[in-house]
């Protein structure tokens, strides 16, 4: 199954053999043995191309989960009596990584000197795909988000606050009403960042007719606003007077805003926050280590 996975990735027997650290004849023999066991071809070899058959594609899909669980078992056996030792692959979303991890990594290195933590920073959807395929052992993301097939452990609540240009009329009060933001030019992270959705959904109010409205539905019907690729760019745009934004409090507390040209105010809302959690595959043999990691990050 590992040979088949590498063959699909490298599209050649030579490349797959090199990645598997075996000779090309050995890898070809392994694929042939797999086909003999199954009684069907899993690879079409024509004109020098390597193409998986329909059965091969289906087996590859199922193999990813089997291989991930097998690797889980090996890692769990190695660290059965010593949690958080050896390799641990952790994904983190970019609106959390630079603000939560620096101090936490120093603590983890001190408490678990044999831990080899490999970090991958990416958007939530791609992290979850990697998690389910076995490329990651756990990930730090923000909720709400669909966690089908995954388990989670809570780290902390992260408040969502409003950022305005210095001297802006909304910064004159101690708090900013979510409803007031619908009249402003909003600058948010581009689509794909869950913080964008969390920030918009956190801002809701009751309309004059008594129905509930949110900034999310309002911006969708009014064309939205500017979009930034990172929090640093977003803050610079606010400081330049281009509009107002919504930021995670952990970023502000970590010194994201160094300019006196930006003012920060809390939102007058009881649900302006996101939950930061550690997630892992349901049934993973490294679940206990993921929970322990969450506790350490929580500290």
Confidence at residue 259, expressed as pLDDT on a 0 to 100 scale: 74
Whether 223 shows a pLDDT value over 60: the answer reads no
| Bridge partners for 263 per DSSP | 164
- The tens digit of pLDDT for each residue in 126-177 reads 999 999 888 899 999 999 899 999 999 999 999 999 999 998 999 898 998 8
Encode 178-194: b = buried (16+ Cβ within 10 Å), e = exposed.
Answer: bbbbbebebbbbeeebb
Percent of the chain at pLDDT above 90? 37
Mean of pLDDT over the chain: 86
Out of 1.10.3720.10, 3.30.530.50, 1.10.10.10, 3.50.50.60, select the CATH number for domain 2-78: 1.10.10.10
Q: Determine the Cα–Cα distance for residues 62 and 5; give it in Å rounded to an integer.
A: 11
* 279 alpha carbon, distance to own chain's centre: 9
Confidence at residue 187, expressed as pLDDT on a 0 to 100 scale: 87
- The tens digit of pLDDT for each residue in 73-90 reads 776 666 556 778 888 999
Confidence at residue 225, expressed as pLDDT on a 0 to 100 scale: 61
Domain segments of the chain: what residues?
A: 2-78, 84-299
Confidence at residue 210, expressed as pLDDT on a 0 to 100 scale: 60
Q: Which range (21-30, 188-197, 259-268, 269-278) has the least confidence? A: 188-197
Question: Phi, psi at residue 279, to the nearest 5°?
Answer: -120, 155
- The tens digit of pLDDT for each residue in 174-195 reads 998 888 888 888 888 887 788 8
- The tens digit of pLDDT for each residue in 199-220 reads 887 777 665 666 666 676 656 5
User: What pTM, to 2 d.p., does this model score?
Assistant: 0.71
Which residue do the tokens 């949690």 mark? 83
Encode 260-282: b = buried (16+ Cβ within 10 Å), e = exposed.
Answer: eebbbbebbbeebbbbbbbbbbe
Give the mean model confidence (pLDDT) for residues 285-296. 90
Encoding tokens for residue 23?
Answer: 């000779």
Q: Which range (124-128, 254-258, 278-282) has the least confidence? A: 254-258
Q: For 84-299, which CATH class? A: alpha beta
Q: Quick count: other Cβ atoms within 10 Å of Cβ 89? A: 19
* DSSP-derived 3-state class of residue 65: helix
**pLDDT grade, residue 65 (50/70/90)?**
confident
């Amino acid at each position: 199954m590992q040979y088949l996975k590498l063959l699909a990735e490298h599209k050649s027997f030579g490349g797959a053999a090199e990645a598997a650290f075996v000779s090309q004849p050995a890898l070809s023999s392994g694929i042939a043995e797999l086909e003999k066991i199954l009684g069907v071809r899993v690879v079409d070899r024509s004109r020098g191309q390597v193409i998986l058959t329909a059965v091969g594609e289906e087996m590859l899909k199922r193999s990813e989960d089997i291989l991930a669980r097998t690797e889980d078992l090996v890692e769990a056996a190695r660290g059965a009596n010593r949690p958080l030792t050896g390799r641990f692959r952790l994904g983190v979303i970019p609106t959390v990584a630079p603000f939560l991890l620096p101090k936490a990594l120093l603590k983890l290195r001190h408490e678990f000197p044999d831990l080899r933590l490999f970090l991958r920073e990416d958007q939530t959807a791609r992290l979850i795909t990697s998690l389910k395929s076995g490329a990651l052992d756990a990930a730090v993301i923000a909720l709400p988000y669909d966690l089908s097939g995954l388990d989670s452990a809570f780290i902390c609540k992260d408040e969502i606050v409003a950022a305005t240009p210095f001297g802006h009329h909304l910064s004159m009060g101690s708090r900013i009403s979510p409803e007031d933001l619908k009249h402003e030019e909003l600058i948010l992270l581009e689509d794909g960042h869950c913080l964008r959705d969390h920030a918009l959904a956190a801002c809701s109010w009751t309309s004059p007719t008594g129905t509930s409205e949110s900034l999310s539905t309002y911006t969708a019907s009014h064309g939205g606003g500017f979009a930034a690729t990172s929090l640093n760019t977003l803050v610079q745009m606010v400081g330049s007077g281009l509009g107002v934004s919504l930021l995670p409090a952990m970023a502000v507390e970590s010194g994201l805003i160094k300019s006196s040209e930006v003012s920060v105010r809390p939102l007058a809302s009881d649900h302006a926050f996101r939950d930061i959690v550690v997630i892992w595959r349901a049934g993973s043999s490294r679940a206990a280590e993921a929970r322990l990691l969450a506790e350490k990050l929580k500290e």
